[in-house]
A and B are shown apart, each in its own frame.
Chain A
Amino acid sequence: KAGVTQTPRYLIKTRGQQVTLSCSPISGHRSVSWYQQTPGQGLQFLFEYFSETQRNKGNFPGRFSGRQFSNSRSEMNVSTLELGDSALYLCASSLDIGSSTDTQYFGPGTRLTVL
């Protein structure tokens, strides 16, 4: 069974630009969550999608948005990039995060650098 894939793996952008990251979950998984990791911080929850609907959102500004397609693939978009957006962005898929015991499977991440 193929794991979670994320593209691109590395990205360099300049301030003010926008970026789109992609995540393909494990086949059969309907829930996709996105996390941001910056140095010294734990994984910060961005949002979660289930069956094409955003079910949960973390405390991030509106510049961060996402969507999920009918095949469960998900994209996240960051507009008007700021230096502080430089981070590792991880996505995780699960059957249904609505279950507290459901295991999340993480992708390798996209390393975004904003110059």
Chain B
Amino acid sequence: ILNVEQSPQSLHVQEGDSTNFTCSFPSSNFYALHWYRWETAKSPEALFVMTLNGDEKKKGRISATLNTKEGYSYLYIKGSQPEDSATYLCAFYNFNKFYFGSGTKLNVKP
């Protein structure tokens, strides 16, 4: 069983703060890492698919980086807004399966 870890488990920030969280995964046999945002009472929604070491993806105020050699990915949110409050999941792809971390729950206070 592959181990995918996310930290921190939860995060409380003020509106306007920038924040980041980490996803750690096995550094061998890397194929892809996916990030999802999961808002309460909704379905998980895909944010990024990352495949190459050094990849950097951006979507509005959210960006992600990838280091496959050391086995981690960072997700950054610049100037957090209350609507960014959600659980952020990463999923490591390996042999036709996704291994999910337990997520980082972000709460942005107005």
Binding site for B on A (CB under 8 A): 3-4, 33, 35, 40-45, 48, 55-56, 58-59, 90, 92, 97-98, 100-101, 103-109
Contact assessment for A100 and B31 in the assembled complex, using a CB-CB cutoff below 8 Å: yes
Cα(A109)–Cα(B44), bound, Å: 10
Which chain A residues border B97 with CB–CB below 8 Å? 45, 48, 56, 58
Q: Indicate which residue in B49, B89, B96 contacts A43 across the interface (CB closer than 8 Å).
A: B89
Q: Indicate which residue in B43, B96, B101, B103 contacts A98 across the interface (CB closer than 8 Å).
A: B96
Cα(A44)–Cα(B91), bound, Å: 11
Whole-angstrom distance between the Cβ of B74 and the nearest chain A Cβ:
18
CB nearest to B43 among chain A residues: A106
Contact assessment for B49 and A45 in the assembled complex, using a CB-CB cutoff below 8 Å: no
Q: How many residues of B contact A (CB 8 A)?
A: 26
Cα(A108)–Cα(B6), bound, Å: 23
Cα(A100)–Cα(B100), bound, Å: 14
Known interface pairs A41-B102, A42-B4, A100-B31; A55-B43 also in contact (CB < 8 Å): no
Contact assessment for B96 and A108 in the assembled complex, using a CB-CB cutoff below 8 Å: no
Is B13 part of the contact surface with A, judged by Cβ < 8 Å?
no
Contact assessment for B42 and A108 in the assembled complex, using a CB-CB cutoff below 8 Å: yes
Q: Indicate which residue in A4, A33, A41, A107 contacts B98 across the interface (CB closer than 8 Å).
A: A33
Cα(A103)–Cα(B34), bound, Å: 8
8 A Cβ contacts from B27-64 to A: 31-32, 34, 36, 42-46, 49, 51
